[in-house]
Structure 1
Amino acid sequence: MSQDTWFITGINSGFGRALTEQLLAAGHRVAGTVRKEGSVDDLTGRYGDRLWVARLDLTDRARIRTVVDRAFADLGRIDVVANNAGYGLFGAAEELTDDQIDHILATNLTGSIHVARAALPHLRAQGRGRIIQLSTYGGQATHPGASLYHAGKWGIEGFMESLAKEVAPFGIEVTIVEPGGARTEFRYDSLRTAAPMPAYDDSPAAMTRAAGDRSRPSLGDPAKMAARIIESTTRTPAPLRLVLGSDSHRFITTALRDRLADIEPQARTAASTDWTG
């Protein structure tokens, strides 16, 4: 088995932790980032120098480039760059504060963009590489009460889909991962919610207020999902999108069908605005 090296953001929990554990157990190397020092000491104690760790907050743009550059310098080659770190923010758009909006977009959208941009010069120099972007079915479908979470995910999917076309000539491939609900800490420990406004108590947006209810576990198995993500890096060409979970597949296909049903009948009116001079 060939030894690959991965760079993964947010390895202390969730998919980042599951990916790191499986990769290290299989003999690969991982360069991982955490927000809190010491949060993966159990893994460094078990795997030694096969796990490289740095502290990183994705809202710190300058440090992103420093950490990525140092990882490539220290490890010599990185085969897969996985943008995993992020969090959820739920609440009606009117309920959210300006700071909440700025922070989630800086983390889930522009943070991931800057990680990818920092890695590109190194991947181009190698002549190959794979970028994995953790998204969600919420990058294709929407729910009320999650407008800013969707904004970040739809934004990063558009960026990555365009990037895939830009970097293909350099041997760099991109996969956007779209998991459904998974039994990770996402819904319980990292989820943030807006202060509720009474005006929205009986609105569709109020459904997200129960998102952290532990009596309603998610459908997906994060270990199985991590295994599918790792397996996808052995495929050539890379899948542009990797849908994980029957709920994800259902939400995405329904959203795409609804979108087509709305757009396809507009062919004649769309053409009516073409220049005819």
Structure 2
Amino acid sequence: MSVRDYPLSVSAERAKALSCFSLSRVWRALGLVAAAALCSPLWAQVIPKVTLSVADTREPSDVAVALQILFLVTILAIAPSILVMLTSFVRIIIAFSFLRRALGTQTMPPDQVMVGMALFLTLFIMMPVFTEINDTAIQPYLAEEIGFRDGLDKAVRPVRNFMLRQVDEKDVALFVRVSRMAPPRNADDLPLEVIVPAFITSELKTAFIIGFVLYVPFLVIDMVIASVLLSMGMMMLPPIMISLPFKIVLFVLIDGWHIVVRELVTSFR
């Protein structure tokens, strides 16, 4: 290294040392701030601890409240299954699935779109039921006008009536016979363990009927396109590739989504 380059090297080393010293001062300042924050009164406050334990008690009301909380937590855990099985969701999502397969669009619309649309249609169809539950069960219970047991009975009644309006009598008779219970005098004598499976069976049957009706027009288009291709000697060309644009155009021209949604909504009694 020449004498001319010596001052430059010294100044570079001095700048590096100053930068390291500045960084160390910054880190020390940050450490002091963190220590002050940890020692503040906010961190010294007692944080409540949530535990789940079994303890002795002499008050039956304490046990009842704990069981009610456990029941509500269980209901929240199985809420998705309740939404699927006790509402109009099953019929709607199966009909949409059949429609997508009939169109031959594979993953269009995506599953998220179909499930979201089915959920919002379910909320729209079930809104009178939810409103009745809120007016007759939830609000009186929150106002302490009725007890928990009465509120539960009043909340179940609108859902029960909705399922009874959709269920087929043959399905109800099937589960009454299988359960070997005494023949009920009227619908009010039917227990939920009979109504729920009968309702699900009826919904599956109705959804498959709707799916068949949706499939037929598009199946006719596929058959016509396949016959035309066969007559032209184009046997190696997949008919679905040619029929897909025609099916989409037909579905759009007849305003297919409007018709499907309208018929699905009005199919519920």
TM (normalized to structure 1)?
A: 0.23
Who wins on radius of gyration, i.e. which is larger? 2
Between structures 1 and 2, the one with greater helix share: 2
TM normalised by structure 2 equals 0.23
